[in-house]
Amino acid sequence: MSAPLLPPKPEYTALCKASAVIGADPMLIQAAGGNTSIKAGDVMWIKASGTLLADAQAKDIFVPVDLPDMRHAVANAPPRADQPAEFALVRDGLRPSIETSLHAVFSQKVVMHAHCIHTLAHAVKKGCETMLAAPLAGLNWAIVDYVKPGANLARRVAEVAKGPVNVVVLRNHGIIVAGDTVAQTYGLLSEVHARLRIDPADCAQPDLDALAALTTGSAYTLPDYTPLHQLALNARRFQQATGGSLYPDHVIFCGIGATALSDGESPDAACARIEATGAPAPVFLIVPGKGVILRRDATEANRALVRCLADVLLRVPAEAELSYLTDAQNAELLNWDAEKYRSALNV
Ligand SMILES: [Zn+2]
């Protein structure tokens, strides 16, 4: 019998600790998004799909994968690299993250990938590559265009993550940083986060009485996270919020873009209008000029991603032009065929 596969302590312990801190910060991670990894020889330990980074100290959330095999697949057979379970060295039920390939392409030992709000507030803007030059000056950084998370994105990242490059901005997605120790990598993530920091815009007052009246007896209610209302209270921000989907986890957890209530429409009528297209009930509805309402049965993950949208857009200037996912990019995230997608758009 071969020796059990053990993670590389003490760095692994440090990774668990740093991952739990990152995962508990909604400005860096929402729901099961983001991931961290550490390499030891031919083995890479990566966060398992569907687990929470915040649980990194309380539970075993890392899975060992065959690093050379994964690197070979990214370079030569991307569809296979999108089946990360095939590369797991321990078959105990946990599956490696779909973003395992993204970590494998870095030569550095430690990789951290976050859906950082401050990064997103830059990376959803048109022309963000020039706007990032000043705040990231002096760092070894690069940027890649949006590609669906998985092996094709990993290939794009591999093209730029060469030599000293250890910070890669993923347009309409997030950030990846890499280093040779956990402390160095976490320090770099914190530095990038601080350099890209944007304070939220001033807030207007929502019409809570109108929202309460509107939601009485409906499947929707008022959200606990009050900055959410800002999506409805500024005409330009409303346009930005309803203009489409800005990053993949929004699509996964909140559906495509955002739905606004029409004049005189009830929340349940708006919900029925969307469901009639074959799309799921909207997790949230924007009531123009009044505020935002949330489904009563919204999950923690739904809530985290609705919050994320407000946190990002409150840090984007009202006049900024945003870059949205295309129809095809939305559809591929939901594994929808084009027909269903078109029907859902025509609402
Ligand atoms: Zn990601």
> Whose CA is closest to 117, among 305, 253, 251, 330?
305
Using the mean position of ligand 1's atoms as its centre, give its distance from the Cα of residue 155 in Å: 15
Q: Mark whether 243 and 307 lie in a shared domain.
A: yes
Whether the per-residue pLDDT at 224 is higher than 50: the answer is yes
Using the mean position of ligand 1's atoms as its centre, give its distance from the Cα of residue 112 in Å: 10
184 φ/ψ angles, rounded to the nearest 5 degrees: -65, -45
pLDDT, tens digit, 9 for 90 and up, residues 146-195? 999 999 999 999 999 999 999 999 999 999 999 999 999 999 999 999 99
Q: Mark whether 91 and 142 lie in a shared domain.
A: yes
Using the mean position of ligand 1's atoms as its centre, give its distance from the Cα of residue 113 in Å: 7
- Our count of domains for the chain comes to 2
| pLDDT of 50 | 87
Using the mean position of ligand 1's atoms as its centre, give its distance from the Cα of residue 121 in Å: 15
Whether 4 is in a domain gets the answer: no
Whether 6 is in a domain gets the answer: no
Whether 258 is in a domain gets the answer: yes
Q: Mark whether 301 and 324 lie in a shared domain.
A: yes
Using the mean position of ligand 1's atoms as its centre, give its distance from the Cα of residue 29 in Å: 9
Using the mean position of ligand 1's atoms as its centre, give its distance from the Cα of residue 321 in Å: 23
| pLDDT of 90 | 87
Question: What rounded mean pLDDT belongs to the chain?
Answer: 93
Using the mean position of ligand 1's atoms as its centre, give its distance from the Cα of residue 176 in Å: 9
Whether 239 is in a domain gets the answer: yes
Using the mean position of ligand 1's atoms as its centre, give its distance from the Cα of residue 313 in Å: 19
Q: Mark whether 234 and 146 lie in a shared domain.
A: no
Q: What is the chain's Cα-based Rg?
A: 21
Using the mean position of ligand 1's atoms as its centre, give its distance from the Cα of residue 213 in Å: 38
Q: Mark whether 191 and 213 lie in a shared domain.
A: no
120 CB-contact burial (10 Å; exposed 0-12 / middle 13-18 / buried 19+): buried
Q: Mark whether 135 and 178 lie in a shared domain.
A: yes
Q: Mark whether 233 and 166 lie in a shared domain.
A: no
Question: Any idea what the CATH number is for the domain that residue 40 is in?
Answer: 3.40.225.10
| pLDDT of 347 | 36
Q: Mark whether 257 and 190 lie in a shared domain.
A: no
Q: Give the largest CA-CA distance in the chain.
A: 70
Whether the per-residue pLDDT at 299 is higher than 50: the answer is yes
Using the mean position of ligand 1's atoms as its centre, give its distance from the Cα of residue 151 in Å: 12
Whether the per-residue pLDDT at 339 is higher than 70: the answer is no
Q: Mark whether 56 and 143 lie in a shared domain.
A: yes
Whether the per-residue pLDDT at 4 is higher than 90: the answer is no
DSSP bridge pairs for 285: 259, 293
82 φ/ψ angles, rounded to the nearest 5 degrees: -85, 10
pLDDT, tens digit, 9 for 90 and up, residues 241-285? 999 999 999 999 999 999 999 999 999 999 999 999 888 899 999
Whether the per-residue pLDDT at 346 is higher than 50: the answer is no
What is the mean pLDDT of the segment spanning 111-127? 98
3-class DSSP assignment, residue 94: coil
- At which of 150, 172, 195 does a domain end? 195
Q: Mark whether 282 and 182 lie in a shared domain.
A: no
| pLDDT of 117 | 98
What is the mean pLDDT of the segment spanning 210-227? 96
Whether 139 is in a domain gets the answer: yes
Using the mean position of ligand 1's atoms as its centre, give its distance from the Cα of residue 114 in Å: 6
> Whose CA is closest to 192, among 238, 152, 142?
142
d(Cα 142, Cα 132) in Å, to the nearest integer? Answer: 10
Using the mean position of ligand 1's atoms as its centre, give its distance from the Cα of residue 269 in Å: 34
CB 193 within 8 A of CB 258: no
Name the pLDDT band for 340 (thresholds 50, 70, 90).
Answer: low
Using the mean position of ligand 1's atoms as its centre, give its distance from the Cα of residue 242 in Å: 22
Whether the per-residue pLDDT at 210 is higher than 80: the answer is yes
Full residue range of the structural domain in which residue 215 is found: 208-345
Using the mean position of ligand 1's atoms as its centre, give its distance from the Cα of residue 116 in Å: 10
Whether the per-residue pLDDT at 1 is higher than 50: the answer is no
d(Cα 82, Cα 37) in Å, to the nearest integer? Answer: 17
Question: 293-332 burial by CB neighbour count: b if 16+ within 10 A, else e?
Answer: bbbeebeebbbbbbbbbbbbbbbbeeebebbbbebebbbb
| pLDDT of 344 | 54
What is the mean pLDDT of the segment spanning 319-326? 96
Q: Which range is least confidently modeled, 90-94, 122-126, 208-212? A: 90-94
Residue predicted with more confidence, 335 or 338: 335
The helix-helix angle for 182-195 and 11-23 (nearest 10°) equals: 20
What is the mean pLDDT of the segment spanning 70-81? 93
Q: Mark whether 116 and 214 lie in a shared domain.
A: no
Using the mean position of ligand 1's atoms as its centre, give its distance from the Cα of residue 124 in Å: 14
Using the mean position of ligand 1's atoms as its centre, give its distance from the Cα of residue 211 in Å: 34
Whether 166 is in a domain gets the answer: yes
What is the mean pLDDT of the segment spanning 114-124? 98
